[in-house]
């Protein structure tokens, strides 16, 4: 998609356990080193701790990462057999661009709605989290593709809303509100604040608990969240930002304005630094993402450390892997600007690993209590660019004193787990001699969530051996 038109981070880290490893600056040193005191305690209690080495391998996790676009037309049946061969094997996200411009002068018929339903079933049954954008135009000519009346736009939204609610487990993000060139909410007659509020009200009415809405610019978000005015930080959890002009210019191709936050109105664009700080607030509650754009003029002002800070500031969870590969090729040539396990690796690989959440086991402590009971404490840090937006289960796996595989669920919430935040989890397990593993799974479908540590084929982290 194309659009023609020094943040401070808040860390609500829980108090750290004195016996758990602490890293003064994990952003500068991504190497995990087992704390000497931890290891000593482990040996005394017949526990040999693992190294907890960080991995630089590709890590496919639900609801974050790269995506590619799949374009559909409401009046045409897709070739699902051919589509199967177009899916990227490493992606967990799929971007579905569905053009309904054929129906600009009337409601969607039953066949069109059923066709959209079949498209969602196709991706949902294959385990994809879908970013969906339904549009009147996919060629950059909104004026030629949009309906003549705003009432027709609202009628289409009333038809699409129930369909999205039906597939709330499949539709991760619903981008835009049908209007604008490429559906990017610009070059349209229907972008006044009252019109935006009416369209958003329809989508909010049907939005399922698993689906987030997204708008093209932070100023649109503010227009649709008047109740958040004056709150620092904002607390709304329904909507994120999709920015399809990242790095295309200093303003991200019209995403940012020029006035400072204190000088501009709530419903006006703000300057770059203020908008990035605001996007970080939004990113604590809803996923942000989009597309990077190659600009030979602006590229001269860019370097890896600055781009890294930009992606962190925007709390980026997802990016297009195929739109403007020229910028991505630059990232592949750049080297990661830091130390640790990523030193010497490509900037592209570093970004790939850190889009969205990335959970790293920082320390483990095991203490024998009585008989075969052990108290296990695990410290984990989110080192990704953004937070977690879906619930999951953290599971300790072991062999019990009868030689039977056992497990304990450590109740916790990934949703709301902010970047750079560390959390400590503990449980008591009746474990016998053998290995301890840590696993994580998304609650709604048990999809594996892999840690940033070196893991086995099941995605489990080896913690150590009793």
Q: List pLDDT tens digits, range 262-315.
A: 999 999 999 999 999 999 999 999 999 999 999 999 999 999 999 999 999 999
Whether residue 295 sits in one domain with residue 174: yes
Give the pLDDT confidence score for residue 32 in this predicted structure: 39
**What band does 102 get if pLDDT is binned at 50, 70 and 90?**
very high
Alpha-carbon gap, residue 271 to 67, rounded angstroms: 29
**What band does 413 get if pLDDT is binned at 50, 70 and 90?**
confident
pLDDT at 73 over 90: yes
Residue 270 within any structural domain of the chain? yes
Which of 354, 383, 405 is the last residue before a domain boundary? 354
Whether residue 412 sits in one domain with residue 331: no
Give the pLDDT confidence score for residue 414 in this predicted structure: 83
**Which two structure tokens, joined as six digits, stand for 37?**
């005191």
Residue 236 within any structural domain of the chain? yes
Residue 2 within any structural domain of the chain? no
Whether residue 299 sits in one domain with residue 422: no
Which of 354, 374, 395 is the last residue before a domain boundary? 354
Whether residue 189 sits in one domain with residue 330: yes
Q: What is the pLDDT of residues 421-447, one digit of tens each?
A: 999 999 999 888 899 999 999 999 999
Whether residue 187 sits in one domain with residue 219: yes
Give the pLDDT confidence score for residue 45 in this predicted structure: 61
pLDDT at 47 over 80: yes
Whether residue 411 sits in one domain with residue 298: no
CATH number at residue 442: 2.60.40.150
Give the pLDDT confidence score for residue 3 in this predicted structure: 42
Give the residue numbers spanning the domain of 450. 36-58+357-465
Residue 286 within any structural domain of the chain? yes
CATH number at residue 159: 3.20.20
pLDDT at 358 over 70: yes
Task: Using DSSP, state whether 150 is helix, strand or coil.
Answer: helix
Whether residue 418 sits in one domain with residue 350: no
Q: What is the pLDDT of residues 81-96, one digit of tens each?
A: 999 999 998 899 999 9
Residue 337 within any structural domain of the chain? yes
Q: What is the pLDDT of residues 244-253, one digit of tens each?
A: 999 999 999 9
Which of 321, 354, 387 is the last residue before a domain boundary? 354
DSSP designation for 85:
T
**Mean model confidence pLDDT for the chain:** 90
Alpha-carbon gap, residue 404 to 118, rounded angstroms: 44
Residue 307 within any structural domain of the chain? yes
Q: What is the pLDDT of residues 253-263, one digit of tens each?
A: 999 999 999 99
Whether residue 336 sits in one domain with residue 240: yes
Taking residues 347-356, what's their average pLDDT?
97
- The dihedral through the CA atoms of 12, 271, 223, 189 has a sign that is negative
Percent pLDDT > 70 in the chain is: 90
Q: How many domains does the chain have?
A: 2
φ, ψ (nearest 5 deg) of residue 246: -60, 125
Whether residue 272 sits in one domain with residue 298: yes
Whether residue 395 sits in one domain with residue 324: no
Alpha-carbon gap, residue 273 to 120, rounded angstroms: 38
pLDDT at 51 over 70: yes
Query: Tokens 């709150």, residue?
Result: 231
Residue 194 within any structural domain of the chain? yes
Give the pLDDT confidence score for residue 33 in this predicted structure: 40
pLDDT at 13 over 80: no
Percent pLDDT > 90 in the chain is: 81
Residue 17 within any structural domain of the chain? no
SS3 of 302-324: CCHHHHHHHHHHCCEEEEECCCC
Whether residue 379 sits in one domain with residue 269: no
Give the pLDDT confidence score for residue 399 in this predicted structure: 87
Whether residue 117 sits in one domain with residue 83: yes
């Amino acid at each position: 998609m194309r659009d023609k038109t020094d943040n401070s981070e808040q860390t609500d880290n829980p108090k750290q356990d004195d016996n758990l490893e602490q890293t003064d600056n994990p952003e500068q040193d991504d190497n995990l080193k087992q704390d000497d005191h931890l290891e000593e305690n482990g040996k005394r209690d017949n526990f040999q701790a693992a190294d907890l080495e960080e991995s630089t391998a590709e890590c496919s996790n639900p609801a974050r990462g790269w995506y590619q676009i799949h374009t559909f037309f409401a009046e045409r049946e897709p070739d699902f057999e051919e589509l199967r061969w177009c899916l990227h094997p490493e992606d967990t996200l799929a971007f579905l661009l569905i053009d309904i411009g054929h129906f600009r002068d009337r409601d969607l018929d039953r066949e069109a709605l059923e066709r959209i339903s079949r498209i969602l079933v196709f991706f949902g049954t294959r385990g994809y989290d879908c970013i969906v954008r339904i549009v009147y135009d996919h060629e950059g000519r909104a004026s030629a593709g949009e309906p003549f009346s705003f009432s027709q736009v609202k009628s289409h939204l009333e038809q699409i809303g129930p369909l999205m609610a039906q597939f709330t487990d499949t539709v991760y993000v619903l981008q835009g509100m049908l209007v604008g060139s490429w559906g990017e909410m610009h070059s349209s007659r229907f972008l006044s604040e009252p019109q935006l509020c009416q369209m958003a009200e329809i989508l909010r009415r049907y939005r399922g608990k698993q689906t987030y809405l997204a708008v093209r610019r932070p100023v649109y978000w503010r227009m649709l969240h008047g109740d958040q005015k004056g709150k620092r930080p904002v607390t709304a959890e329904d909507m994120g930002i999709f920015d399809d002009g990242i790095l295309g210019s200093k303003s991200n191709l019209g995403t940012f304005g020029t006035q400072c936050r204190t000088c501009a109105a709530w419903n006006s664009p703000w300057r770059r630094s203020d908008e990035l700080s605001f996007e970080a607030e939004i990113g604590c509650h809803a996923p942000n993402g989009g597309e990077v754009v190659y600009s030979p003029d602006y590229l001269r002002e860019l370097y890896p450390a600055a781009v890294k800070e930009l992606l962190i500031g925007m709390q980026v969870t997802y990016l297009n892997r195929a739109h403007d590969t020229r910028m991505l090729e630059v990232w592949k040539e750049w080297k990661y600007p830091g130390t640790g396990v990523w030193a010497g690796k490509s900037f592209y690989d570093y970004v790939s690993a850190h889009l969205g959440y990335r959970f790293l086991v920082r320390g483990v402590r095991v203490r024998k209590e009585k008989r075969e009971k052990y108290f296990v404490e695990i410290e984990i840090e989110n080192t990704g660019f953004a937070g977690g937006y879906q619930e999951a289960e953290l599971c300790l796996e072991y062999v019990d004193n009868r030689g039977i595989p056992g497990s304990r669920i450590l109740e916790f919430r990934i949703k709301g787990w902010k970047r750079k935040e560390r959390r400590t989890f503990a449980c008591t397990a009746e474990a016998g001699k053998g290995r301890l593993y840590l696993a994580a799974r998304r609650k709604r479908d048990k999809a594996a969530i892999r840690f940033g540590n070196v893991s086995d084929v099941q995605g489990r982290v080896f913690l150590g051996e009793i």
